Amino acid sequence: MIFSVYYLAALILAAGDLRGRLAAWTIRLPALDAWAWCAVLLCTYAAQLFIILDAAQKTPWPIPIVAPAPGDFVTASTIALGAIQVLALAGLYRARIGAPVIATGGAMLLLSWSAPVFLNADIYAYVGNGLLGAAAYAPPNAPFAGDLAFINARWGTPVPPATYGPLWLTIAHLVVTLAPTLAGKLFAFRALSLALFVALIALLRACGLPPRILALAALNPGLQLQFVVDAHNDILPVVLVVGAAALVRKLPYAACGLIVVAALVKLPYALAGLPVLAAMLPASRRYAACALVVVASAALSWFGGGAAYARALIGYAASSHLAGILHGIAALAALAAIAAAVMGARRLRAAVWLMPMLGAYTASWYAMWSLPYALQRRRIALYFFLWFPLVSVLAEPSLATPWTMFVLVPIVVALSLRYSLQPRPS
């Protein structure tokens, strides 16, 4: 299985991190003005959007989607631009933060909002979720009517059962009522994601992250591509969990409640969100709170989705065809890292590669599952935001090829073990 290389890479990086190998050397970058680094980020992001638009399937769909096998040029150029973005973010971290960040962030959001292409077709499924409501867990064997039939053109008839929580189906239903056409509904989801992205930056500030790291989040091309352009719904539970991190010291049980709500959007956040509870004291109360979050998430998910939701989750995991021994080991390593984080033990910067293993398969946007883990340590948050543009494109299913997995991923792992991208402020 091609993704076994990615699973192995995550385990090697985690082992190297435990041995202190990720901090051996530091890459030296030119001390350019913030405007220069912002220009690099904006231009490379615009180039990525242009490349994926050119590679999109030529169909009558309202907004085209990148072809499943876009070709080596698209793959190589997208990954190369992601690597340049990592270096530009490292350079920006060392520059003086101010007006350049605000102006560039606004320009990138405008590009994200107006992009006439999707890298992934999940947003079409979100529209179907909203139209079907609770029936999305067991969709009827009938196509949607009118222009909505394009959903079936991509996802088949019947569409696959929804694997999201009952709260997401309610929210999706509200979103699809905002516009009469399929194109309007798609942009309604993107508008929701844009608003959530802005909320995420505000909540990260409330968590105490310094302006330099906030700039890396706001101007992060990988985050904007995955969670504004493609509007992946992980942005909603992440906002809830980051909100929990902002509240955990003053209102610990409200923080627990927010994690449960996040799990009702996407169930893995019942585990991925637990590290933010590490600030709860004493330890006995913290462990009890974690157990309560997991139990409440499972119980309320069952109450809201019932057996149909459980069957959809089991069927999805069984049909992924990507699970294997390495995947299982990596998932156990991710669970061990979460448990260690809850206990206040040493934290791994390489968790940005490891947490996506909690999923039934590896997807680029699952790298966002690492953010709750990263929040409690600034050096880990810095690593997360620096590496996200490259990690997310390396794990993008549509870009996975033998040469990316068997050549490029091992090179990235080797470089990561030799060089550090932990820049120091100038």
Count Cβ atoms below 10 Å from residue 72 Cβ, excluding itself: 12
Distant-in-sequence, close-in-space partners of 60: CB < 8 Å, separation ≥ 6 = 150
For residue 70, pLDDT over 90 is answered with: no
Q: In this predicted structure, what is the pLDDT of residue 426?
A: 47
Tokens of 373: 């883990």
What value does the mean pLDDT take over residues 161-171? 96
Count Cα neighbours of 296 within 13 Å in the Cβ-side half-sphere: 17
Count Cβ atoms below 10 Å from residue 112 Cβ, excluding itself: 23
Residue 420 DSSP SS3: strand
Q: Which of 48-62, 112-126, 163-177, 254-268 has the lowest mean pLDDT?
A: 48-62
Rounded Cα distance between 367 and 26, Å, is: 24
Beta-ladder partners of 118: 65
What value does the mean pLDDT take over residues 305-317? 91
Beta-ladder partners of 56: 66
Instruction: Name the one residue in this structure whose structure tokens are 């794990």.
Output: 395
Write the DSSP string, 310-330.
HHHHHHHHHH-----HHHHHH
Distant-in-sequence, close-in-space partners of 327: CB < 8 Å, separation ≥ 6 = 3, 4, 7, 357
Per-residue pLDDT tens digits for 319-336: 765 557 888 888 899 999
Tokens of 336: 């061990």
Distant-in-sequence, close-in-space partners of 154: CB < 8 Å, separation ≥ 6 = 61, 65, 121, 124
For residue 3, pLDDT over 70 is answered with: no
Per-residue pLDDT tens digits for 363-399: 888 889 999 999 978 888 998 999 899 888 887 777 7
For residue 354, pLDDT over 90 is answered with: no
